[in-house]
Structure 1
């Protein structure tokens, strides 16, 4: 008897959650905190992450980054300019990262002294929101050019964020961006979450973002988002996992 798509989805996510929990435990024992960065394509997260990594390296902090894309190693080359260890993960068409992929790329590569691993997820606000990567901190980024209503259009992503970062603030004026309206929409899906304004070009928010990440690494309490990621999968995933008969 064929399983329903909902049953397949739940099974795929349950398997991922189990792998993520094991990965989180393993990395915690090694003293590694994972920061999962989610955003749409073009939000500026690669440039901002590069600035954060550069600042961390300047301070002698043991950081590393893994960046995911469907194709090209462009972002890895950009991030490597920071001086931090960087690895590219190519998903071969998959629109999000899963815990099994992260484990496979971390094993044998992550430097032993690493205490912070930044994971730049695939540019997508739908699929990645449903997959736990074993992260200690989930950050959702959005550029002012994307519109104030993005949080209510993508409530799972913004509702599951421990921290929200607003990027490209230098373009707020030309874009006619209303920050008050944006923050009201953020509060609607995730009450109490902090919004950090940033601009990679001017350096705004870089130090604040690094401070927030280091605080979580050092044991500071993490904002608990009210919304659990909603089920999301693709039919081929269930078939590959042997879950469809």
Structure 2
């Protein structure tokens, strides 16, 4: 009997969730907390992360970052300016990260002293939302220039977030951004979640965001979101030669 697309999807996601749970437990035993950053392209996520990393380095917090893109090492070079250990992960066309990819890179690269590992996911608010990476904290970033209705358009991403970060707040007025409507939309899909407002260029919100992350490390997630569904239109499941070459296909190099 042939399996339906939905059955295959659920099987793949279940396998990923199992790997993610094991990775989360393993990293917790090593004293490492993973922070998964999701956003659409152009949200300012890389600039924000770079500022947070620099502040953590300044405070002598053992921090590292893994950044994912379909192509180029541009973001890794930018993040490395913070002084934190950084590694680029090239997905070779895959629109999201999966737990197996994070596991492979953690095993081969993560510095032993790391306490916080930030993962900058592929710029996409659809596919990455369906995959647990083994993170203990999921943060969704959105710029005011994207429009206040985005939480309603991407309910899985925003609904699964422990924390939401609104970026580029200095552009709110020229973008005619409706802040009150945005807050209402966020609460509609994820009641009780906190929104941190930031302007990375000016440094606004950087300390607040880092403090929320540290609180999650010390006390557990700042907010426990409701369970989110796993709608996903396409699945990548390595098999045969693809499975053997999965780690090779996802290229990664440390940038120093």
TM-score range relative to shorter protein = over 0.9
**Offset, 1:241:** 4.3
**Offset, 1:220:** 3.8
Counterpart in 2 of 1:14?
14
Counterpart in 2 of 1:207?
207
Counterpart in 2 of 1:75?
75
The 1-side partners of 2:15 and 2:155 are apart by 23
Pairs within 5 Å for 1:64-103: 64-103=64-103
The 1-side partners of 2:108 and 2:119 are apart by 17
TM-score, length of structure 2 as denominator length? 0.91
**Offset, 1:228:** 1.8
The one-character-per-residue Cα deviations of 1:46-71 (angstroms, maximum 9, x if unpaired) are 00000000000000110000000000
Counterpart in 2 of 1:222?
222
Question: For this pair of structures, how many residues does the alignment match?
Answer: 240
Pairs within 5 Å for 1:228-243: 228-235=228-235, 237-238=236-237, 240-241=238-239
Asked if the contact 1:13–1:231 (Cα under 8 Å) also holds between the matched residues in 2, the reply is no
TM-score, length of structure 1 as denominator length? 0.95
The one-character-per-residue Cα deviations of 1:196-240 (angstroms, maximum 9, x if unpaired) are 0001111010000000001111124431112424232525x24x3
The 2-side partners of 1:101 and 1:190 are apart by 28
Counterpart in 1 of 2:243?
none
* SS of equivalent residue, structure 1 residue 234: coil
Asked if the contact 1:148–1:179 (Cα under 8 Å) also holds between the matched residues in 2, the reply is yes
* SS of equivalent residue, structure 2 residue 9: helix
**Offset, 1:40:** 0.2
The 1-side partners of 2:32 and 2:227 are apart by 25
CA RMSD of aligned residues (A): 1.1
**Offset, 1:108:** 2.4
The 2-side partners of 1:231 and 1:13 are apart by 10
- Runs of 4+ deviating beyond 4 Å: none
The 1-side partners of 2:221 and 2:100 are apart by 27
The 2-side partners of 1:40 and 1:58 are apart by 28
Consecutive unaligned residues in structure 1, runs of 5 or more: none
Pairs within 5 Å for 1:25-36: 25-36=25-36
